[in-house]
Amino acid sequence: MKQHGQLADFLQARRGLLRPEDVGLRTYGERRRVPGLRREELAMLAGISAPYYARLEQGQSRNASREVLDAIATALHLDESERAHLHELARAPKRGRAALRPRPEGVTPATGALLAALEGTPTIVMGRRSDVLAWNAQGHALFAGHFDRSSPAEPGRRPNMAKLVFLDAHTRDLYTDWPAKARAVVGNLRLTAGRYPQDPLLAGLVGELTMRSPEFAAMWADHRILACDVADYEMHHPTVGTLTVTQQTLQSPQGTGPAVVIATAAPGSASAAALSLLAQAGGGSEAVRPRRGAESRPS
**Within this chain, do residues 120 and 234 fall inside the same structural domain, yes or no?**
yes
pLDDT at 8 over 80: yes
Of 1-5, 142-146, 247-251, 267-271, the range with the lowest mean pLDDT is 1-5
**Within this chain, do residues 276 and 190 fall inside the same structural domain, yes or no?**
yes
pLDDT score for 30: 66
Residue 225 domain-assigned (yes or no): yes
CA 48 to chain centre: 31
Cβ atoms < 10 Å from Cβ of 173: 13
**Within this chain, do residues 122 and 266 fall inside the same structural domain, yes or no?**
yes
Contact criterion met (CB below 8 Å) for 106 and 292 = yes
**Within this chain, do residues 166 and 264 fall inside the same structural domain, yes or no?**
yes
Residue 289 domain-assigned (yes or no): no
Contact criterion met (CB below 8 Å) for 242 and 234 = yes
The last residue of a domain, from among 58, 90, 122 = 90
The domain of 210 spans 109-281
**Within this chain, do residues 81 and 121 fall inside the same structural domain, yes or no?**
no
The model's pTM is 0.77
Of 10-19, 21-30, 216-225, 289-298, the range with the lowest mean pLDDT is 289-298
* Overall number of domains in the chain: 2
Residue 98 domain-assigned (yes or no): no
pLDDT digits (tens, 9 = 90+) for 178-236: 999 999 999 989 888 888 888 889 999 999 999 999 999 999 988 877 777 889 999 99
Of 85-89, 94-98, 133-137, 155-159, the range with the lowest mean pLDDT is 94-98
**In terms of pLDDT, which residue wins out, 109 or 233?**
233
Q: Is the dihedral of CA 18, 208, 150, 171 positive or negative?
A: positive
Contact criterion met (CB below 8 Å) for 260 and 125 = yes
**Within this chain, do residues 60 and 163 fall inside the same structural domain, yes or no?**
no
Question: Which CATH number belongs to the domain containing residue 83 in this structure?
Answer: 1.10.260.40
